Amino acid sequence: MPQEYRMILKHVDQAGYTPDLECYVRHGGYQTLRKAVALKPVTTAEGKTESGPEQIRKEVMLSGLRGRGGAGFSCGLKWSFVDRKSGKPIYLICNADESEPGTFKDRQIIYKDPHQLIEGMIISSYANDVHLAFIYIRGEFAEGAKILNRALAEARAAGYLGQNILGSGYDLEIYVHRGAGAYICGEETGLIESLEGKRPYPRIKPPYFPAVLGLYQCPTIVNNVETLCAVKHIVEMGGAAYARLGTPNNTGTRIVSLSGHVRRPGYYEIEVGKVTLGELIFHENFGQGLRPGRTLKAVIPGGSSAKVFKAGEKITLRRKRPDGSTSVQEMDLLDLPYDFDTIAAAGSMSGSGAIIVMDDTADMVAALANLAEFYAHESCGQCTPCREGALWMSKILHRMDTGRGRAGDPAQLLHLAQNIQGRTVCAFGEACSWPVLSFVSKFREDFEARGGGPAPKNS
Ligand SMILES: Cc1cc2nc3c(=O)[nH]c(=O)nc-3n(C[C@H](O)[C@H](O)[C@H](O)COP(=O)(O)O)c2cc1C
């Protein structure tokens, strides 16, 4: 029977569980940090001496943990890219911007179990020789920032943070930095610019890979809230045990934000790949299906930037084999295991883990007009295709939504989206064009019906 596997959310929503230090410690909190800073150097089979921090980095690599912020990049690999020979300080930034529409998981940890995040950050900092770390929190989470600052003060007073942590000789300070409420500040290089006090224009990669040239041009690790919490559990149970959770290459647990037309929307922690999209929407342990009499129309599988799936569409999974060839497999949408690789092979992405469900009452033109307005508002304006294109798409969609569609509008939308993706400094270009490309091509009839009509010749 498909069910939740609560590891990071173990105590969240438990009766009597409060976000203060005393409660966290009573439930075993900061024991993993104690274990981490006490690790003694070991000699490997190859005769190499491995320090405690190196052992932690090895466990994180072994765990197969992939970033939970959106891109699903290997955490261990990201840490291995950190330039440790530059002689510059190394920084850690926790990305607590959580602004992808449909996503509401990180805030559960911040508001209800902040010390878990702080412990994860201290262990990650220790593992990477970081002495100064930041939590970049979305501006709207004013209360979240207060809760974190209170928790940091408690941790400092108890010797888990600050100078000589738990008598280990290791020093670390963590600061909370509030954003001003801009989606682009979730993009890691835009975030870094913002943290430096500048307008959050994302940086070009290369050369500005944060692990090499990040905050103040120093090596910097940017990880999502949930990713950093997972590190604590990896150190607690060991990388190999963590890797046994979930499925190969999609290890551990992840928190799914389920919203839209389901009877029981909410956040659910699952073993990655052990629950299907259909089970998340329909099973009694998760979404509990649609409202009476309704049928499924569409599913956005990974936050509003992800390409939408149409109910009933035959999904063709395309996967690269190790020899470079491609395997092709047909599957029903609802049978797709919810993991990074399957959703990507199906032509979309699991992104931030936010599933938005739409039933037959959903107006696809209105829904896309809503999303397009968000992206037009949030484009930072640095790259012309995104700045102009996102606004243009939003204007067309608003016109269509208010009964003023013109012949050729659907084709024009596709043309605009195709000319934004791949032509911008950061992935916002894809974020704003993928919904348009997928909505318009998969629900063409809905868009044609709004006075769109077929494209005129030479339009
Ligand atoms: C437009 C845009 C918005 C993003 N917003 C967020 C966000 O709100 N939170 C987040 O953790 N990552 C966000 N990301 C992904 C970050 O750039 C980065 O990949 C992530 O913080 C790395 O952490 P992880 O490896 O632990 O996932 C966003 C990316 C883009 C392109």
Q: Tens digits of per-residue pLDDT, 107-149?
A: 999 999 999 999 999 999 999 999 999 999 999 999 999 999 9
pLDDT tops 50 at residue 203? yes
**Distance from the alpha carbon of residue 222 to the mean position of ligand 1, in angstroms:** 9
From 60, 78, 82, 95, the mutation candidate for ligand 1 (largest count of ligand atoms within 8 A of CB) is: 95
**Distance from the alpha carbon of residue 320 to the mean position of ligand 1, in angstroms:** 25
396: its two tokens: 């067309």
Distance of CA 90 to the CA centre of its chain: 23
Residues 179 and 174: their CA atoms lie apart, in Å, by 16
In order of their start, the domains of the chain are 21-244 (3.40.50.11540), 252-359 (3.10.20.600), 364-452 (1.20.1440.230)
pLDDT confidence bin for 456, thresholds 50/70/90: very low
**Distance from the alpha carbon of residue 98 to the mean position of ligand 1, in angstroms:** 8
pLDDT of residue 287: 98
CA-wise closest residue to 392 among 363, 418, 359: 418
- If you take atom 23 of ligand 1, which residue's CA is the nearest one? 223
Q: Tens digits of per-residue pLDDT, 319-366?
A: 888 899 999 999 999 999 999 999 999 999 999 999 999 999 999 999
pLDDT tops 90 at residue 453? no
Contacting residues for 297 by C-beta, under 8 A, at least 6 apart = 310, 311, 358, 359, 360, 362, 364
| 66 DSSP assignment | B
Q: Which helix (H) or strand (E) holds 260?
A: strand 253-260
CA-wise closest residue to 79 among 60, 52, 51, 55: 60
Pocket lined around ligand 1, Cβ cut-off 6 Å: 67-71, 73, 95, 97-100, 183-184, 186-188, 222-224, 227, 426-428, 431
pLDDT confidence bin for 459, thresholds 50/70/90: very low
**Distance from the alpha carbon of residue 187 to the mean position of ligand 1, in angstroms:** 5
Residues 273 and 184: their CA atoms lie apart, in Å, by 29
Residues 391 and 404: their CA atoms lie apart, in Å, by 17
CA-wise closest residue to 393 among 374, 337, 142: 374
Return the SS3 of 75.
Answer: helix
**Distance from the alpha carbon of residue 59 to the mean position of ligand 1, in angstroms:** 23
CA-wise closest residue to 277 among 243, 302, 253: 302
